Amino acid sequence: MAQGSSENQWPGFRGPAGRGFIEKAIPPVKWNIDSLASIQWKTPIPGLGHSSPVIWNDFVFITTASNFANTELLKVGLYGDIGEADDKMVHEFKTYCIDKQNGRIIWERVARTGVPKSKRHTKASQANCTPATDGKYLVVHFGSEGLFCYDMKGNLLWEKDMGLLNPGFKPAPGIEWGYSSSPIICKDRIILQCDIPKTPYITALDLATGKVIWKTSRGDEDQTYCTPAIYEGKGKTMVIANGYTHMCGYDFETGKEIWKLSNGGDIPTPTPVVANDLIYLNSAHGKYSPIFVVRPNATGDITLAPDSTRNKYIAWSVKRGGAYMQTPLVYRGYLYNLQVNGQLTCFDALTGELKYKESLKEAFTASGIAADGKLYFSSEEGNIFVIKAGPVFQQLAVNPLKDVCMATPAISGNLLFFRTQHYLVAVK
């Protein structure tokens, strides 16, 4: 493949346009981490980070936060403890640039050194946000530690103090679970969703300078962990933000609210997905666990009546069946929704017709990705489930990485990239 081809670029969270797949890549079905069969390289990454790798040409970028002693607490599995990690030691907040072909570290940069300004959940990290790049700029967000912009050689172009970004759980004031909304780049702008306790907002910054272009209040939105998405089509560009009381579409140029939708899960994490000229919204916690499919011509308050599953602007919905952590995968006509307990549900993406519901019988946090008719789901235990795309469930393989895996993987060319607790692994 040509170096600059789209199959090589995975520029942000869930890849091109946040869709979670690449069309022409042919990644492997099976590999072996012990024998290194089909393993291109395996590079140790110190510290703890749940950010995903992003890729531009032959550069792979990853972030981490390390307390020097490498004693960062991580508690995985299915549990309901709202407790925080005790991060009182000095940390380095660091970005790595790695050679895609051989795993060699090309450069590393420390954005900040100090005790973390905000706390995190025992299942989170201090480097949750996936970077974003357009091939010229690399934007790295460490939440309360700041927003940083580098060029591709690692030169710092600008940095911005974003203040205290400390979302938690509204019923337990003072609890902080760690900021996780990743930056996205579109048309020389950075979009950031900051649903923090007292003053939730969404904002657009100039990519070259970091200056604020617009900043829109999210009203009484509860604390969320969602990365925003972009809709482009039919003569309009919108910023789409998931939420609990405020799932919204905003005008890309001005930040003005175009439509809003209520009754999501009360502490959502999934990113909106744009596919089939529709907007897919998904969440699950507390009273609600819906999937909503919104038409892009929506305007005003489009919240469904209590006994309805569709209206003028909502093509279809399900009241229960959304995911708490994972962003859904809309691929080749079907929506795949994976829940934290391993339940995988497949819907017709245009009609909402249920095709199957199967259990993968493990705990999951990472979102799924796809290529070449194959779906890849990473369990917290580090087992990579390979499922055939389509309306009938067929498991093709399970490949153990033998390390905790909380981050959503990436694809570039025919390579898969998995970020585990201790390594970045390239599979060929």
For the stretch 142-173, pLDDT in tens is 999 999 999 999 999 999 999 999 999 888 98
Q: State the residue range of the domain holding 200.
A: 6-427
Query: 343-348 and 334-338: which strand pairing?
Result: antiparallel
Cα separation of 358 and 397, whole Å? Answer: 15
Measured in whole angstroms, how far is the alpha carbon of residue 290 from the centre of its chain?
19
pLDDT in tens, 34-88: 999 999 999 999 999 999 999 999 999 999 999 988 889 999 999 988 989 989 9
Cα separation of 131 and 11, whole Å? Answer: 8
> Is 44 contained in some domain?
yes
Both structure tokens of 54: 């992003």
Both structure tokens of 369: 């990705």
> For the residues 293-301, what does the mean pLDDT come to?
98
Query: 91-99 and 59-66: which strand pairing?
Result: antiparallel
Residue from 152, 157, 164 nearest 210 by CA? 157
Taking the CA of residue 413 as centre, how many other CA atoms within 13 Å lie in the half-sphere pointing to its CB? 17
- Give the model's pLDDT for residue 2: 35
If DSSP codes are grouped into helix, strand and coil, which group holds residue 201?
strand
> For the residues 186-193, what does the mean pLDDT come to?
97
Region label for 244, one of left (φ > 0), alpha (ψ between -120 and 50) or beta (otherwise): alpha
**CATH number of the domain residue 325 falls in:** 2.130.10.10
> For the residues 334-339, what does the mean pLDDT come to?
97
Residue 6 predicted with pLDDT over 70? no
- Give the model's pLDDT for residue 4: 45
Cα separation of 372 and 411, whole Å? Answer: 11
Q: What is the mean pLDDT of the chain?
A: 96
- Give the model's pLDDT for residue 128: 98
Measured in whole angstroms, how far is the alpha carbon of residue 240 from the centre of its chain?
14
Residue 29 predicted with pLDDT over 80? yes
Q: Strand locations in 156-269, DSSP E? A: 156-160, 184-186, 189-194, 201-206, 212-217, 229-233, 236-241, 247-251, 257-261
CA torsion sign for 53, 84, 116, 218 is: positive
DSSP string, 2-59: -TTSGGG-B-STTSGGG-SB-SS----S--BTTTTBTEEEEEE--SB--PPPEEETTE
pLDDT in tens, 206-236: 999 999 999 999 999 989 999 999 999 988 9
> Is 158 contained in some domain?
yes
Cα separation of 30 and 28, whole Å? Answer: 6
Question: One-letter amino acid identity for 98?
Answer: I
Residue whose tokens read 């290194």: 36
**Which own/partner pairs from 151-159 qualify as long-range (CB within 8 Å, at least 24 positions apart)?**
152/56, 152/59, 152/97, 153/107, 154/95, 154/97, 154/107, 154/108, 154/109, 156/109, 157/208, 158/209, 158/210, 159/111, 159/210
- The continuous run of DSSP H or E covering 131 comes out as none
> Is 1 contained in some domain?
no
pTM: 0.97
Residue 1 predicted with pLDDT over 90? no
> For the residues 293-318, what does the mean pLDDT come to?
97
pLDDT in tens, 245-264: 999 999 999 999 999 999 99
Both structure tokens of 421: 């607790």
Domain count, the chain: 1
- Give the model's pLDDT for residue 170: 85
Cα separation of 127 and 6, whole Å? Answer: 27
Q: How far is CA 38 from CA 96, 186, 333, 427, in A?
A: 24, 35, 30, 6
Between 24 and 369, residue with greater pLDDT: 369
- Give the model's pLDDT for residue 5: 53
Q: Confirm if 371 and 427 have CB atoms less than 8 A apart.
A: no
> For the residues 394-415, what does the mean pLDDT come to?
97
Question: One-letter amino acid identity for 29?
Answer: V
> Is 98 contained in some domain?
yes
How crowded is residue 362: how many other Cβ atoms within 10 Å of its Cβ?
19
Query: 300-301 and 257-261: which strand pairing?
Result: parallel
